[in-house]
A and B are shown apart, each in its own frame.
Chain A
Amino acid sequence: MDLKEAVKILSLILLAAAIAFCSSFAVGKLSDGRIIEIRIEDILIFFLGLLLISGFLISGRTKVEKPPLFFPILIWLGAGLLSVLTNWAFSNLSLGRGFFYFLKEFQFFVFYFYVFWGIKKIDTAKLLVNTWLIFAFINVLYVFYQAVTGLRTGEYGTAAIGEWGVFPTGAFFLMFLIFLFNVFLYYFLNLNVSILKKTALGVLTLSPALGVMGSASKTNFAAMIFALFLTFLLFFLRKANLRAIAVFILVIVFTISLFSFAVKNIRDVTRIKDVISNFSLEPLWESYKRARLDTAIMPLLRASLESSRHLPFLGMGKGYVGEAHNQYLRNFIEMGFVGNLVFFLLIYAIVRKSWQGFSKNGNTFAIGLSAGLLVVTLTLLFISFATEPFIVVKPSSVYWFFAGITMAVLSLNKK
């Protein structure tokens, strides 16, 4: 490994560490009173991005490898910029809000491109996944410490390191759980290592479930059940044998044990019991209708439609709405009909790529990552009815980081 490559890998690990461990800090305030918060990874990616661009320009090259999803991302960003510029021109949108909301989204894609271009070998991707496994487990240990000592650092229950909010914490652990557990099912489980090591890896990859439960987020808990269901559906599609059934039973037993530990030790976890009460979807729907649909989503949609005649066509620009409680509603308010159309185009491209990686690949590592990306994306679409997971910084950073790893591995496999 040459020095240049070592530095690149180190920069990726530093980026992962910043996402996993650093909290945000205030740097200013928007005109509407909202605080502008930045994170260490924002500063890091700014400098790393500058280094990447200057390195490219100094090298004299004019061509760069085109990452998968390049055009859907470009169209999504282009539509976002168009909506921001149009609404700035018509004075509908405040300068600060439009700028910072657009910049935040732009940054997720910079993560994706930086990770994609930074991985030149499959071994680098494996090293990064192992690094994430350690970082995720350190966060789980922190949750375990909070549960045992009774220390409560989250909004409701326990929190990840440097985080406070109920949804960001739960979704952050959910990302780890889905990505790492899928890598475990297809890759770690097929490694030529002892049963003991495989069990340890299984516990490590499933342990983020404690973080999801500890956050006491109903949305994330419902998402976790949905994700585990999808994960095993895909797993049985590929391997319907006794071993797969044994793994399934062990996972269910371990997850229930984690749940009973969380309920006993973290006071607010009891609120997520509603989600699974009577094993029926009715309480989930009732809870969603009461807490989201009737009180937030529908009034916001009505108010937005009444406030502007051009909303359905151009949208009101990125950042116009503070909290929409629904990703599709946010896309509609910010970018009009086009917003959702372009959003689905991007999602379709991700689902298509990850499905191809899952179904047409022989490499177990690539299959695990593809399955993870597919399940995470579908899970995020599911919870998008109740929240806006694609703009929440901490989980989205993990999502696009792993999307970068997955696409890099798929591209390297093709070569």
Chain B
Amino acid sequence: MNHLEYPSENQFKEIDLLDFIRVVKKRKKIIFGLFLLSLIFGTSWYFLAPSSYQGTIIFKIGNSENIGEIVEGFKKGIYNNYPKLEVVNPSGTNLIEINIATKEYIQTTAFLEKIKTDILSIHNQRAERKKEVITQEISFLETTIENFKKDIFNAISRGEQTASLKLEIYRIEKLIRDLEKEKNDISMTQVFKEPEVKEKRPGYLSVFFAAVLGFFVGLIVASFTEWLERIK
């Protein structure tokens, strides 16, 4: 009696590994056929698949910017809606790598150039504005010091105490030094790696995976055919 043709009740509660091997043997033509078909398809795909062009640009982000926000901004299309865009911030760095892929070399290059212009202008305008605000603040504080100096001069001429005014000047001078340091520390966003576009074609592995896929689909079809035959 063929075990496959007459399933016992127990077969529904247990899995017999030999059953599987028997199915593979019995339906080897289907499995091999699909494997071969996929192999041919994979090989054709390897030679005939249209090229795509992957472009990469790496930025060194200025310290006044929030890197997490930039990455999220790209993902949510705040800068622009680019197709197939991948943004990565290698952990522990202030670098952002942007990868973009399109079907045309010119389009990929144009996208990268636009990203470069947008990022640099937005970030650097923001950094310049911040520097400007600090400069204004320093200038205001310097004027305040000048006023205090005049007050001290007047107080001395009136024979009054000037210690508190001098202390206030020291405090403001320290504030100015801190602001100057903060201003000098503001770094601009720079291009760390200039835009680079590479042609991307399917690798040898595509053929291998296509063959494995064919074999796997063959197993599914073989099992399904067997199941259909059993329930008839």
Contacts and interface: CB of A to CB of B under 8 A. Distances in A.
Interface string A75-95: 000100110011011110001
A81 B45 CA distance: 20
A196 interface: no
B37 interface: no
Contact of B15 (A32, A70, A306): A70
B187 interface: no
B216 A91 contact: no
B15 A64 contact: yes
B88 A64 contact: no
A33 B203 contact: no
Contact of B206 (A78, A81, A88, A295): A88
A307 B84 contact: yes
A63 interface: yes
Contacts of B12: 66
Interface residues of A, number: 26
A66 B83 contact: no
A63 B14 contact: yes
Contact of A89 (B17, B83, B213): B213
Interface string B62-106: 000000000000011100010110101111000001000000000
Contacts of A299: 75-77
A interface, over-half SS: helix
A89 B206 CA distance: 4
Contact of A35 (B15, B75, B91, B216): B91
Nearest to B84: A307
B16 interface: yes
A95 B77 contact: no
Given A62-B18, A64-B15, A82 B83 contact: no
Contact of B16 (A33, A62, A303, A307): A62
A89 B217 contact: no
Given A63-B15, A64-B14, A85-B209, A33 B90 contact: yes
Interface of A: 32-33, 35, 62-66, 70, 78, 81-82, 85-86, 88-91, 95, 295-296, 299-300, 303, 306-307
Given A32-B86, A89-B42, A303-B77, 16 more contacts: A33-B91, A35-B91, A62-B17, A63-B14, A63-B16, A64-B14, A66-B14, A78-B216, A78-B220, A82-B217, A85-B212, A85-B213, A88-B205, A90-B202, A91-B206, A307-B84
21 contacts: A32-B86, A33-B88, A33-B89, A33-B91, A35-B91, A64-B15, A66-B12, A78-B216, A85-B212, A86-B213, A89-B209, A90-B45, A91-B200, A91-B206, A295-B76, A299-B75, A299-B76, A303-B77, A303-B81, A306-B83, A307-B84
